[in-house]
């Protein structure tokens, strides 16, 4: 294999480095502001949280530099070992971690608190990259796909056992990487469909139209529309005509009956979907069309999903998760309860206006109205003190970083580097979207940090490791010719 | 899967499009939160700024001789912040406060009830009890640390040096819902003047509240001043008022009126300043200070003699014979009579078949003697001749002209005194009688108005104002009880001369009659040896109850210093009670003290008990 030694420092992607520095610097300023009192303004004290964070930034930079010095081959060579070690650590954590605010995810060594779940992200990314990097690898080979799925789901399971649902959700973002590597987009679309179905059926679960539950009705109508839309896109006029005619008959009969006797309208839709499925199965058999079979599978899967939502909500989710979800869906409005955090964070951000109240002048964050203001809700400080200008700037910085990482990932020659690069971009993307989304009241309150911003050593260090490994890989992308 | 089977560029683009789309949605949400919706700024302020009111001290009241009448004393309100309350010994707490546990629980429930207490917040101080006594405050202050969440708030309440002039001074009490709705100045549990000067000069007396902007954290704890207090404002104290009342005179008047129903009003004719406005029964203004307010108020409100009513302003009585003075002036000005016009009287008004009746005196007689002896028939003749006079065209025009002349003298309308609750009295006009008698009426229908009976009613204040216009010979100043406002000018309406439109010479004729009444007529008891008093009695006949006794006068005859009315309900002849009281009041004011010769009269008047048994 031809080999060329390259100076890491000259081939390093400085754009990413600059974005990283700018982000953590702004983040550190925000932590300083959020954790300071009005009394201490003007004095840069490094005690307390901002000092701590500075220490962790320093440690992370040293670790980052070490990563850059280590030979890039190491990561691919040790990928599985690192993954195995982290999985072991996760297992150990389940048994050793004390209960901290209902979560059993922190390992306590003296004064230092470490959250292994944070480090499982880069480990999983490395393992996945290594697995996909095989010669002539085909992701859609069922065995390969299942192994990839296993690599992702193993840490999810272990983290769920630590009662850290938020951190576990992060791993879903690896499906984005798999999509890039050949997984059918249909799986992502179905994932989105199921999420939408879940939200709609939950949101309107207690709304009734006569005897019909509106949530179920809407979802069933959506399933029907998606199925028919897909069939119509095949442009088989005979089939379209038959389906429209059949639906017309069902509509006339059901309306007539409804006028005489009020019944649950979901029956009509279930009947329609059943008739449609039978017709499509017949078509699939007659013309040997896999597409129609797929639609039938979609319909069956969606309906069974819809009717298991209630079960999932009542029996799988914990009460505080149920409430968070209901609040995020606007089903519950309880300003002092679960919604309090989101309300206060929206007030803090909303009161910032265009230019904000000025650095260190945020009243809402200073007076502790926003909970977790230097960790999960750190974005509030930006919103209140620097206004729309500040939030837009930070948001665009993240967008720039993510797009830059995707650009870097795409220019890699090896699958290992590319998969890892996409993993880094996706993980950062997920954290930014869920964290800021929760702070501005779009996504449910899920306790995950804003990368490079939130106070917290584990999180900062793990994101730095995640990023610097990719920077190291990228720097030596041209070593092998 | 080999790369050539995979459309990698398409997949990359979909990912980028998805990411950008989500960031765009987030930017739109941020734009709507931070730029479009202004509510968040308001909520943020409500969150964090605790606007603590700095109460100004209320203006102090002095009498015309700079005697202190009303001032402020500290009071202590017990406040509670529900969020900070921890379990405590309720029994001890209630014992200190001198309330039962039941009352305490009820009070706490009321505080939490948003329909009773709309501004309730568990994070903000709420009133538990207002105006703690000094003793309660002392004990509570020592053990307050045992009751977390409870605080003492200092405020000021009124203190009175005299127990007199309650109707004039008025009282302050907590604002009600209407006050809160009408004026943004007020907040829950603020004090507002409810009656008297406290009410009419409320905007001067209350001053301006200051505000202290404090920062409050999420737990409701105060974290210090906002921006070192540069946005704070100091309270501006209320303005002090100097009343025109002479408190010694007022006190004396109230003493003379004790155990009687009625009023005394004394006005300085040259200024319109009210020197004394005593109404009986009255009450001690200090009854309305402190926690006993509610109980005392209820008791006074249920008193059948209605001590809360200021009879001098709100009492509407027939003026009786004092009205004859105003009549004579109108007849003279309208050329119905001259000073020498003689009318006959044979123990009554001859055209009315001897009705209204009159007492025995010489006949015919002129205006001088008609006033001097208080002849009924003379003024009936006058009114009849005025109403029948062809120069007006119709009786209706004549009647309305009469009403206009009366109104110009201050009857039938509110004079506009700077006190709330003034009644207008009634001077009927043609429309009034058209309605009352269905258009069928003539001079005889209403002839008793000529002698201050019938439909006409007036307030004691209006009669005293008539005395002032006569003393001034044709004009008056709107009566007022506030002489000066600290650092501010009095409303110019109180320094504006109001003309009656009746010529001065006519007044001289009437004054001669009033002088005659004192020297050798009905009010001989008011005749002072060295001061020329002019006066007129009134004996107001009532349908079922005893006559009201009235005296109206002024003194001295030249350059008058004071105009007076004394109106005592159900005291019989004017000369019996009203004239002696009038004499004492005049002596008290003009001499400064009561001469020994009048002391027996003073004793007699103070001891007289004339309460309406019909009640």
Paired tokens of B201: 């000069």
Closest Cβ opposite residue B1 in set A140, A366, A406: A140
> Angle formed by the axes of helices B39-48 and A339-350, to 10°?
110
pLDDT in tens, B583-614: 999 999 999 889 998 899 999 999 988 886 54
Q: Is residue B14 less than 8 Å (CB to CB) from chain A? A: yes
Among A395, A319, A381, A388, CA closest to A344: A381
**Distance, in angstroms, between A367 CA and closest chain B CA?**
4
Among A347, A327, A322, CA closest to A337: A327
Among B325, B360, B353, B342, CA closest to B506: B325
Closest Cβ opposite residue A363 in set B16, B215, B219: B215
Q: Which residue of B has its CA nearest to A349?
A: B34
Q: Is residue B222 less than 8 Å (CB to CB) from chain A? A: no
Which residue is listed with tokens 């050949």? A182
**Is residue A374 a contact partner of residue A31, using CB atoms and an 8 Å limit?**
yes
CA distance to A7, A169, A292, B188, per residue, from B109 (Å):
77, 46, 67, 17
Predicted local distance difference test score (pLDDT) of residue A5: 66
Predicted local distance difference test score (pLDDT) of residue B213: 81
Predicted local distance difference test score (pLDDT) of residue A327: 61
Predicted local distance difference test score (pLDDT) of residue A102: 66
Report the C-alpha gap between B514 and B368 in whole angstroms. Answer: 8
Task: Determine the distance from the C-alpha atom of residue B362 to the mean position of all C-alpha atoms in its chain, rounded to a whole number.
Answer: 45
Whether A436 is covered by a domain: the verdict is: yes
What's the maximum distance between 2 C-alpha atoms anywhere in chain B? 143
Map out the domains of chain B as residue ranges.
43-67+161-243, 74-155, 247-282+311-607
Which residues in chain A touch residue B123, judged by CB atoms under 8 angstroms apart? Answer: none
Same structural domain for residues A460 and A335?
yes
Closest Cβ opposite residue B23 in set A346, A352, A395: A395
Q: What is the DSSP string of B546-563?
A: PPEEEEEEEE-SSS--EE
pLDDT in tens, B404-444: 999 999 999 999 999 999 999 999 999 999 998 888 888 88
HEC string for B88-105: CCHHHHHHHHCCCHHHHH
Percent of chain B residues past pLDDT 90, beyond the cut? 53
The three-point CA angle B511-B516-B518 to 5° equals 100
Same structural domain for residues A168 and A258?
no
Report the C-alpha gap between B569 and A80 in whole angstroms. Answer: 112
**Is residue A306 a contact partner of residue A220, using CB atoms and an 8 Å limit?**
yes
Q: Give me the domain span that covers residue A71.
A: 8-191+331-475
**Distance, in angstroms, between B233 CA and closest chain A CA?**
21
Report the C-alpha gap between A272 and A264 in whole angstroms. Answer: 14
Domain count, chain A: 2
Same structural domain for residues A237 and A256?
yes
Q: Specify the pTM.
A: 0.63
Closest Cβ opposite residue A364 in set B19, B34, B48: B48
CATH 2.60.40.10 matches B43-67+161-243: no
Whether A202 is covered by a domain: the verdict is: no
Give the burial class of A398: count Cβ atoms within 10 A of its Cβ; 0-12 exposed, 13-18 middle, 19 or more buried. Answer: buried
Closest Cβ opposite residue A395 in set B12, B26, B41: B26
Q: Which residue of B has its CA nearest to A370?
A: B218
**Is residue A39 a contact partner of residue B223, using CB atoms and an 8 Å limit?**
no
Percent of chain A residues past pLDDT 70, beyond the cut? 92
Task: Indicate the Cα dihedral angle B91, B93, B99, B100, nearest 10°.
Answer: -20
Predicted local distance difference test score (pLDDT) of residue A45: 58
For residues B402-424, one letter each, b for 16 or more C-beta atoms within 10 angstroms of the residue's C-beta and e for the rest, the string is: bbebbebbbbbeebebbbbbbbb
Q: Residue A167: pLDDT band by 50, 70, 90 thresholds?
A: confident
Same structural domain for residues A281 and A415?
no
Q: What mean pLDDT is reported for chain B?
A: 88
Q: Residue A388: pLDDT band by 50, 70, 90 thresholds?
A: very high
Q: Which residue of A has its CA nearest to B7?
A: A182
Report the C-alpha gap between B147 and A136 in whole angstroms. Answer: 78
Whether A214 is covered by a domain: the verdict is: yes
Q: Which residue of A has its CA nearest to B11?
A: A180
CA distance to A388, A428, B270, B466, per residue, from B498 (Å):
66, 87, 12, 12
Report the C-alpha gap between B291 and B96 in whole angstroms. Answer: 15
Pairing of strands B150-160, B126-132: unpaired
**Distance, in angstroms, between B21 CA and closest chain A CA?**
11
Q: Which residue of B has its CA nearest to A140?
A: B1
Element (H, E) at B514: helix B504-520
Report the C-alpha gap between A180 and B443 in whole angstroms. Answer: 112
Q: Is residue A348 less than 8 Å (CB to CB) from chain B? A: yes
Closest Cβ opposite residue A347 in set B8, B22, B43: B43
Among A214, A222, A225, A230, CA closest to A247: A225
Which domain-ending residue is among A271, A298, A324?
A324
Report the C-alpha gap between A383 and A390 in whole angstroms. Answer: 7
**Distance, in angstroms, between A179 CA and closest chain B CA?**
7
* Of A336 and B349, the one with more pLDDT: B349
Report the C-alpha gap between A96 and A89 in whole angstroms. Answer: 10
Same structural domain for residues A159 and A217?
no
Same structural domain for residues A149 and A52?
yes
The mean pLDDT of A378-387, rounded to a whole number, is 91
**Is residue B405 a contact partner of residue B333, using CB atoms and an 8 Å limit?**
yes
Q: Is residue B36 less than 8 Å (CB to CB) from chain A? A: no
Q: Is B376 left (phi over 0), alpha (psi -120 to 50) or beta?
A: alpha
Percent of chain B residues past pLDDT 70, beyond the cut? 97
Q: Is residue A402 less than 8 Å (CB to CB) from chain B? A: yes
Among B458, B466, B462, CA closest to B316: B458
The mean pLDDT of A321-332, rounded to a whole number, is 64
* Cis amide leading into A241 (omega within 30): no
Task: Determine whether the interchain pair A176/B15 forms a contact, defined as Cβ–Cβ distance below 8 Å.
Answer: yes
Strands (DSSP E) contained in B31-149 are 49-54, 61-62, 68-80, 126-132
Which residues in chain A touch residue B47, judged by CB atoms under 8 angstroms apart? Answer: 344, 347, 363-364, 367, 369
For the domain spanning B247-282+311-607, the CATH number is 3.40.710.10
Q: Is residue A191 less than 8 Å (CB to CB) from chain B? A: no
Report the C-alpha gap between B437 and B443 in whole angstroms. Answer: 12
Paired tokens of A42: 């003007």
Closest Cβ opposite residue B44 in set A347, A395, A399: A347
* Cis amide leading into B579 (omega within 30): no
Least confident of A345-354, B38-47, B326-335, B581-590: B38-47
Which residues in chain B touch residue A179, judged by CB atoms under 8 angstroms apart? Answer: 11, 15
Whether A403 is covered by a domain: the verdict is: yes
Paired tokens of A105: 């995810």
Same structural domain for residues A98 and A13?
yes
Report the C-alpha gap between B431 and B437 in whole angstroms. Answer: 10
The mean pLDDT of A391-399, rounded to a whole number, is 96
Same structural domain for residues A336 and A294?
no
How many CB atoms neighbour CB B121 within 10 A?
A: 14
**Distance, in angstroms, between A446 CA and closest chain B CA?**
17
Task: Determine whether the interchain pair A403/B16 forms a contact, defined as Cβ–Cβ distance below 8 Å.
Answer: yes
Same structural domain for residues A250 and A215?
yes
Element (H, E) at B174: strand B172-174
Q: Is residue B221 less than 8 Å (CB to CB) from chain A? A: no
**Distance, in angstroms, between B42 CA and closest chain A CA?**
8
**Which of B6, B20, B26, B51 is the mutation pick for testing A, counting most A CBs within 10 A?**
B26
For the cut 90, the answer to whether the pLDDT of residue B459 exceeds it is yes
User: Among residues 136-175 of chain A, which lie with CB inside 8 Å of chain B?
Assistant: 136-140
Report the C-alpha gap between B22 and A451 in whole angstroms. Answer: 17
Same structural domain for residues A346 and A471?
yes
**Which of B7, B11, B17, B19 is the mutation pick for testing A, counting most A CBs within 10 A?**
B19
Q: Is residue B24 less than 8 Å (CB to CB) from chain A? A: no
Which domain-ending residue is among A306, A324, A342?
A324
**Distance, in angstroms, between B52 CA and closest chain A CA?**
17
Which domain-ending residue is among A299, A324, A349?
A324
pLDDT in tens, B258-280: 999 999 999 999 999 999 999 98
Closest Cβ opposite residue B27 in set A348, A384, A392: A392
* Cis amide leading into B364 (omega within 30): yes
Closest Cβ opposite residue A388 in set B22, B30, B41: B30
Q: Residue B78: pLDDT band by 50, 70, 90 thresholds?
A: confident
DSSP 8-state code for residue B494: G
Report the C-alpha gap between A50 and A455 in whole angstroms. Answer: 8
The mean pLDDT of A332-347, rounded to a whole number, is 67
User: Among residues 36-75 of chain A, which lie with CB inside 8 Å of chain B?
Assistant: 37-39
Whether A34 is covered by a domain: the verdict is: yes
Q: Which residue of A has its CA nearest to B12?
A: A180
User: Among residues 206-265 of chain A, which lie with CB inside 8 Å of chain B?
Assistant: none
Predicted local distance difference test score (pLDDT) of residue A41: 47
Paired tokens of B457: 């009613």
Same structural domain for residues A432 and A313?
no
**Distance, in angstroms, between B220 CA and closest chain A CA?**
9
Closest Cβ opposite residue A182 in set B6, B27, B224: B6
Q: What mean pLDDT is reported for chain A?
A: 85
For the cut 70, the answer to whether the pLDDT of residue B615 exceeds it is no
Which residues in chain B touch residue A136, judged by CB atoms under 8 angstroms apart? Answer: 2
Same structural domain for residues A215 and A232?
yes
- Beta-bridge partners for B50: B214
Helix (H, G, I), strand (E, B) or coil at B210: strand
**Which of B15, B41, B214 is the mutation pick for testing A, counting most A CBs within 10 A?**
B15
Q: Is residue A353 less than 8 Å (CB to CB) from chain B? A: yes
Closest Cβ opposite residue A349 in set B20, B23, B34: B34
Predicted local distance difference test score (pLDDT) of residue B130: 77
CA distance to B165, B335, B394, per residue, from B391 (Å):
49, 11, 8
pLDDT in tens, A197-238: 887 787 777 778 777 888 888 888 989 988 888 888 877 888
Paired tokens of B261: 């129903």
**Which of B11, B30, B32, B214 is the mutation pick for testing A, counting most A CBs within 10 A?**
B30
Predicted local distance difference test score (pLDDT) of residue A326: 67
pLDDT in tens, B121-173: 777 778 888 778 777 888 888 888 888 888 888 778 899 999 999 999 999 98
pLDDT in tens, A54-79: 889 999 999 999 999 888 888 889 99
Q: Is residue B295 less than 8 Å (CB to CB) from chain A? A: no
Task: Determine whether the interchain pair A38/B6 forms a contact, defined as Cβ–Cβ distance below 8 Å.
Answer: no
Pairing of strands B241-243, B61-62: parallel
Task: Determine whether the interchain pair B217/A367 forms a contact, defined as Cβ–Cβ distance below 8 Å.
Answer: yes
């Amino acid at each position: 294999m031809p080999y060329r030694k390259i100076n890491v420092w000259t081939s390093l992607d400085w754009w990413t480095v600059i974005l990283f520095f700018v982000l953590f610097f702004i983040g550190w300023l925000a932590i300083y502001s959020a954790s300071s009192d009005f009394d201490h303004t003007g004095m840069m004290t490094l005690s307390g949280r901002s000092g701590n964070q500075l220490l962790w930034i320093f440690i992370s930079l040293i670790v980052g530099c070490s990563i850059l010095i280590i030979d890039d081959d190491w990561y691919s060579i040790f990928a599985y070992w690192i993954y195995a070690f982290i999985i072991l650590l996760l297992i150990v954590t389940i048994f050793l971690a004390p209960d901290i605010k209902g979560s059993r995810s922190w390992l306590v060594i003296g004064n230092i608190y470490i959250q292994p779940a944070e480090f499982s992200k880069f480990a999983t990314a490395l393992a996945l990259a290594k697995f996909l990097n095989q010669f002539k690898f085909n992701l859609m080979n069922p065995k390969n796909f299942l192994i990839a799925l296993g690599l992702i789901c193993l840490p999810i399971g272990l983290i769920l056992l630590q009662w850290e649902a938020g951190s576990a959700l992060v791993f879903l973002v690896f499906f984005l990487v798999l999509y890039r590597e050949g997984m059918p987009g249909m799986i992502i679309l179905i994932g989105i469909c199921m999420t939408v179905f879940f939200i709609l059926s939950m949101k309107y679960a207690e709304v009734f139209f006569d005897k019909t539950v509106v949530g179920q009705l809407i979802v069933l109508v959506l399933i029907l529309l998606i199925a028919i839309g897909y069939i119509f896109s095949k442009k088989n006029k005979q089939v379209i005509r038959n389906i429209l005619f059949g639906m017309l008959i069902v509509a006339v009969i059901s309306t007539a009956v409804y006028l005489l006797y009020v019944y649950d309208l979901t029956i009509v839709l279930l009947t329609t979907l059943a008739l449609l499925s039978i017709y499509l199965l017949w078509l699939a058999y007659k013309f040997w069309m896999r597409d129609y079979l797929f639609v039938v599978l979609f319909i069956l899967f969606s309906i069974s999903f819809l009717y298991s939502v209630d079960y999932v909500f009542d029996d799988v989710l914990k009460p505080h998760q149920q409430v968070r979800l209901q609040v995020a869906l606007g089903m519950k409005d309880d300003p002092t309860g679960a919604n309090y955090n989101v309300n206060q964070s929206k007030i803090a951000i909303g009161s910032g206006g265009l230019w904000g109240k000025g650095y260190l002048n945020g009243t809402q964050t200073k007076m502790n109205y926003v909970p977790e203001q230097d960790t999960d809700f750190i974005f509030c400080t930006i919103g209140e003190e620097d206004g729309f200008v500040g939030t837009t700037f930070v948001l665009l910085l993240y967008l720039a970083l993510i797009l830059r990482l995707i650009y870097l990932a795409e220019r890699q020659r090896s699958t290992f580097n590319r998969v890892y690069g996409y993993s880094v971009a996706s993980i950062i993307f997920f954290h930014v979207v869920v964290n800021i989304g929760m702070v501005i009241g779009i996504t449910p309150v899920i306790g995950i940090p804003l990368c490079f911003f939130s106070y917290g050593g584990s999180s900062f260090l793990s994101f730095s490791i995640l990023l610097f490994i990719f920077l190291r890989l990228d720097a030596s992308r041209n070593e092998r010719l | 899967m080999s790369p050539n089977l995979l459309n990698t560029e398409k997949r990359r683009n979909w990912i980028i499009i998805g990411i950008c789309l989500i960031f765009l949605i987030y930017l739109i949400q941020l734009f709507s939160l931070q730029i479009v919706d202004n509510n968040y700024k308001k909520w943020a302020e409500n969150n964090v700024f605790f606007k603590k009111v700095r109460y100004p001290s209320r203006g102090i009241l002095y009498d015309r001789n700079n005697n202190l009448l009303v001032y402020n004393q500290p009071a202590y309100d017990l406040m509670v912040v529900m969020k900070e309350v921890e379990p405590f010994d309720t029994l001890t707490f209630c014992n200190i406060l001198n309330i039962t546990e039941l009352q305490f629980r009820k009070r706490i429930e009321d505080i939490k009830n948003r329909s009773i207490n709309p501004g309730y917040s568990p994070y903000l101080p709420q009133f538990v009890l207002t105006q703690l006594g000094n003793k309660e405050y002392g004990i509570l202050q020592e053990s307050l640390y045992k009751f977390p969440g409870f605080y003492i708030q200092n405020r000021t309440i009124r203190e009175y040096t005299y127990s007199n002039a309650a109707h004039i001074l008025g009282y302050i009490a907590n604002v009600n819902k209407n006050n809160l709705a009408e004026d943004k100045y007020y907040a829950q549990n603020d004090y507002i003047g409810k009656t008297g000067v406290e009410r009419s000069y409320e905007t001067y007396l209350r001053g301006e509240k200051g505000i202290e902007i404090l920062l409050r954290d999420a737990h409701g704890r105060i974290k210090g001043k906002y921006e070192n207090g540069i946005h704070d404002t100091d309270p501006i104290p209320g303005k002090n008022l100097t009343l025109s009342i002479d408190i010694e005179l007022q006190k004396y008047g109230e003493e003379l009126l004790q155990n009687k129903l009625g009023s005394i009003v004394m006005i300085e004719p040259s200024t319109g300043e009210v020197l004394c406005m005593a109404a009986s029964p009255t009450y001690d203004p200090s009854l309305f200070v402190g926690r006993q307010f509610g109980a005392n108020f209820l008791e006074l409100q249920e008193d059948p003699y209605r001590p809360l009513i200021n009879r001098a302003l709100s009492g509407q009585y027939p003026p009786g014979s004092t009205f004859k003075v105003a009549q004579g002036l109108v007849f003279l000005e309208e050329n119905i009579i001259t000073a020498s016009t003689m009318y006959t009287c044979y123990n009554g008004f001859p055209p009315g078949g001897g009705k209204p009746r009159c007492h025995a005196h010489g006949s015919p007689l002129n205006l001088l003697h008609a006033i001097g002896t208080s002849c009924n028939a003379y003024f009936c003749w006058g009114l009849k001749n005025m109403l029948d006079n062809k120069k007006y065209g119709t009786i209706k025009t004549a009647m309305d002209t009469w009403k206009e002349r009366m109104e110009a003298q201050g009857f039938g309308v509110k004079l506009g005194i700077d006190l709330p609750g003034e009644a207008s009295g009634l001077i009927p006009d043609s429309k009034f009688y058209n309605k009352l008698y269905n258009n069928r009426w003539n001079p005889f229908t209403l002839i008793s108005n000529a002698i201050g009976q019938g439909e006409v009613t007036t307030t004691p204040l209006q009669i005293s104002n008539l005395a002032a216009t006569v003393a001034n010979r044709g004009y008056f100043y709107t009566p007022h009880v506030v002489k000066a406002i600290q650092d501010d000018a009095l409303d110019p309406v109180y320094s504006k001369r109001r003309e009656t439109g009746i010529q001065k010479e006519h007044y001289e004729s009437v004054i001669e009659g009033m002088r005659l009444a004192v020297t050798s007529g009905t009010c001989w008891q008011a005749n002072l040896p060295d001061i020329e008093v002019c006066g007129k009695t009134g004996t107001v006949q009532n349908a079922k109850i005893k006559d009201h006794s009235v005296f109206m006068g002024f003194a001295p005859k030249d350059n008058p210093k004071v105009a007076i009315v004394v109106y005592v309900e159900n005291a019989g002849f004017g000369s019996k009670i009203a004239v002696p009281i009038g004499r004492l009041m005049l002596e008290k004011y003009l001499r400064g003290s009561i001469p020994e010769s009048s002391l027996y009269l003073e004793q007699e008047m103070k001891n007289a008990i004339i309460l309406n048994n019909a009640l």
